A and B are shown apart, each in its own frame.
Chain A
Amino acid sequence: GENVEQHPSTLSVQEGDSAVIKCTYSDSASNYFPWYKQELGKGPQLIIDIRSNVGEKKDQRIAVTLNKTAKHFSLHITETQPEDSAVYFCAASSGNNDMRFGAGTRLTVKP
């Protein structure tokens, strides 16, 4: 089955700096790669996703890149703000009801 690894486990940045979180996956059949944000005491919420036919996707301060050959994808947050502080999860799915999540990255943005 799919195995997703995520790094780093914790990340601390100054407000205004960029944050990058990286994930690798094992199943070459995976074709859908979402990123979820989980705030304290809440359930995860989708913030951006990318499909295998696209190499990069951007939504305001958030961007995701995908390298299918190397089986890795990354989340980039620019101009970070304190409200970006949360736990971020990457996930991968081949569409066979097999969505698997990374272990999460706790991002802290210091004002």
Chain B
Amino acid sequence: NAGVMQNPRHLVRRRGQEARLRCSPMKGHSHVYWYRQLPEEGLKFMVYLQKENIIDESGMPKERFSAEFPKEGPSILRIQQVVRGDSAAYFCASSPSGTITGELFFGEGSRLTVL
């Protein structure tokens, strides 16, 4: 049973370009969470999605950031017109149920570097 798969593991973009980060949850999990981790900092909640629905996006910047989890395929975190401050590790986690009273399973992260 494969774990949470994230790709790419490393992504380099120039300022103004777009970054797309993908996350395939564990088999049987329909709930996906995205977190951002700045160097030497903790995990900051960004967005929580179920299949085809955004449930909570309170941690996601209102501009340039968007997320989706289509019926088929991986969840995608999209950052438009990237700036240097977007450089961070982005982690995806999945769970089998929407009520977080159990384990979150994390991927190994996508590390975005903006030049």
Please report A residues at the B interface, Cβ cutoff 8 Å: 1, 6, 31-32, 34, 36, 41-46, 49, 51, 89, 93, 95-104
Name the residue in B43, B48, B98 with the highest tally of chain A Cβ atoms < 10 Å from its Cβ: B43
Chain A residues, CB < 8 A from B93:
43
State whether the Cβ of B63 lies closer than 8 Å to any Cβ in chain A: no
The contact of A100 among B45, B101, B107, by CB within 8 Å, is B45
Question: Which single residue of chain B is at the shortest CB-CB distance from A105?
Answer: B42
User: Is B106's CB under 8 angstroms from A95's CB?
Assistant: no
The contact of B106 among A44, A51, A93, A102, by CB within 8 Å, is A44
Give Cα A74–Cα B44 distance, bound, in whole angstroms. 21
The contact of B99 among A51, A97, A104, by CB within 8 Å, is A97
Give Cα A104–Cα B48 distance, bound, in whole angstroms. 21
Listed A/B pairs (18) with beta-carbon separation below 8 Å: A34-B104, A43-B91, A43-B106, A44-B91, A44-B106, A45-B106, A51-B101, A89-B42, A93-B100, A97-B48, A97-B100, A98-B56, A98-B100, A99-B33, A99-B104, A101-B45, A104-B42, A104-B43
State whether the Cβ of B103 lies closer than 8 Å to any Cβ in chain A: yes
With known contacts A99-B45, A101-B43, A104-B42, A34–B103 Cβ distance under 8 A = yes
User: Is B43's CB under 8 angstroms from A89's CB?
Assistant: yes
Give the distance to chain B from A12, nearest Cβ to Cβ, in Å.
16
